[in-house]
Amino acid sequence: MVEEKEVKQQGNKIIFIYRIVVSIIMIVSIILVYILNNLGNSKEVGAMANNISNETNIIDNNNTIVEQVTSEESLRKLNDWKLILVNYENKMSEDYIPPLANIDNERQFDARAIDSLTQMILDMKAAGIKNIWAQSTYRSPEKQKRLIEESIQEYLEQGKTEEEARSLTLRGIEEPYRSEHNLGLAVDFNNVDNEFEDEPAFPWLVENAANYGFILRYPKDKEDITQIKYEPWHWRYVGPEYAKEMKDLGLCLEEYVEYLKNN
């Protein structure tokens, strides 16, 4: 009798647990049906699924986490090699080797953009701007380091402290792997000084460079964002699509990347 009673009690427990599980399943089913009904139809459900998928985190070219990017178009742009952001906050991979092509015996540029650079210079000369040349283009990280050391030494000889000399240097020359010149996508024109702003080439570039895919990388009114002093001679290739959009929006590269992340 005792064994029969224990068996009966165990059976009642199993039935009780079964009823709880069934109840939970029914409640979850009701909630799902309610949600689906409010979504309207399967097309809207699919759209929601796509949005959820696109809102997951991605890793951009600089190994930076980009959160909640909902636009597929923005994703495409952020992963484009032409928009690689290299600056004081974003260090390029030390393993990255740009595909280079020769401009002449001394200068190189990214092979995917070199035709745009050479054509832009040719068109400037055809427009009557004869005083134009590419002074500095691709620089190896090793050369970048030498330039920094030379600049610091010059400031030291002027009586600056070590800290002052380094700070002043880094306002104009980025550290190795943080310089666009290491990417092979930047070009410095002529004598690399502010007098370039007064030469005929500068207003021509302001007006036309975007058509060739180039932007003024360090504008005068964006120094607080780029952390680099105004450089009228320094232009960066980003491709015509992005250059024109950045020009229309009035954004520097840092701002444009953030704009894409939020749209």
pTM of the model: 0.70
pLDDT digits (tens, 9 = 90+) for 9-55: 555 555 555 566 556 665 655 555 455 455 444 433 343 334 434 44
* pLDDT single digits (tens) 89-117: 999 999 999 999 999 999 999 999 999 99
Identify the band that residue 190 occupies on the pLDDT scale cut at 50, 70 and 90.
very high
Q: Is 3 a catalytic residue?
A: no
Region 133-146 average pLDDT: 94
Percent of the chain with pLDDT over 70: 73
The pLDDT value given to residue 3: 46
**What type of residue is 206?**
V
**Does residue 194 register a pLDDT over 60?**
yes
Write the CATH number of the domain with boundaries 75-139+180-261.
3.30.1380.10
pLDDT of residue 100: 98
| pLDDT at residue 24 in the model | 67
d(CA 126, CA 122): 6
At 57 the pLDDT is: 43
Cα 254 from chain centroid (whole Å): 7
Confidence of residue 173 (pLDDT cuts 50, 70, 90): confident
Q: Answer yes or no: are the C-beta atoms of 254 and 87 closer than 8 Å.
A: yes
pLDDT score recorded for residue 17 = 59
pLDDT tens digits for 156-166?
999 999 999 99
Residue 38 is predicted with a pLDDT of 52
Q: Region 182-204: what's the mean pLDDT?
A: 97
**37 CB-side CA count, 13 A:** 6
Give the separation between CA 155 and CA 157, rounded to whole angstroms. 5
pLDDT at 54: 43
Per annotation, catalytic residue among 180, 197, 231, 245: 231
Which pLDDT score, from 0 to 100, does residue 128 have? Answer: 97
How many whole angstroms separate alpha carbon 86 and alpha carbon 182? 9
- Asked if 100 and 109 touch (Cβ cutoff 8 Å), the reply is yes
Lowest mean pLDDT among 78-87, 132-141, 167-176, 209-218: 167-176
The runs of H, that is alpha helices, within the chain are 2-39, 42-54, 72-78, 114-126, 141-157, 162-170, 201-212, 223-226, 240-249, 253-261
What is the reported pLDDT for 43? 39
Is residue 139 predicted with pLDDT exceeding 90? yes
For the chain, give the mean pLDDT: 83
pLDDT in tens, 61-71: 444 444 454 57
